[in-house]
Amino acid sequence: MPRPAAHLPARNGYRGGVVSKSRNRGGAQTGTAQLTAPATAAESPATSKKAKTASYPGQQLGLPERGPGSVASMPRRIAALFIDWLLCMVIAYWLTHSQFWTIAVFAIEVFVLTALGGSTLGKRLVGLRTVRLGGGPIGFGWALVRTVILLTAIPPLLVDRDLRGLHDRATGTVVVRI
């Protein structure tokens, strides 16, 4: 089987550019090709741009990296959830002598306290607060939407690079440190 003509570019599946510069001292074209490697990920401008924009959670939202007003960490959020759930279990058992009403008490606590002050008792104890991205109060409408989505349990686990769950993204809120 005949080989393709010498003037056609080589197709070997390599993504890098093919350089036809000779390695001979005289610079004569001898038909050999030198392969060049593509730019590394560190040299790529698109990669370095992404690295600069997402260096810490909340940077794209204009929040500080540390201290008051920064995005809350997951261990603090889990601690707040644990405290709220235990408190709601105690209240449900005290009111009804049954723990089956815990989810209803939890829903009422999260809805009312988030709408009025932006934090539940557990969030207040660990130093967290839910705020609107544009400023202003959360209000009863957005607190209701946030609570309903929160009670489905899966959306809070699906977080983005700013550690905002689906319930926070849907309502335009973020949980920050106090």
Residue 41 and residue 50: Cα distance in Å, rounded? 11
Give pLDDT tens digits for 36-95. Answer: 555 555 555 555 555 455 589 999 999 999 999 999 999 999 999 999 999 999 999 999
pLDDT of residue 155: 85
pLDDT of residue 88: 97
Does residue 20 have a pLDDT over 70?
A: no
The residue that leads in pLDDT, 105 or 37, is 105
Residue 118 and residue 177: Cα distance in Å, rounded? 12
Give pLDDT tens digits for 126-140. Answer: 999 999 998 888 999
Residue 15 and residue 101: Cα distance in Å, rounded? 62
**DSSP states along 41-76:** TTT-HHHHHHHHHTSSTTTTTT--SSSTTSBPPHHH
For residue 129, count other CB atoms closer than 10 A to its CB.
Answer: 19
What is the rounded average pLDDT for all residues in the chain? Answer: 82
- Kindly give the pairing relationship between strand 34-35 and strand 173-177: unpaired
pLDDT of residue 145: 96
- Residues of the chain with pLDDT > 90, as a percent, come to 63
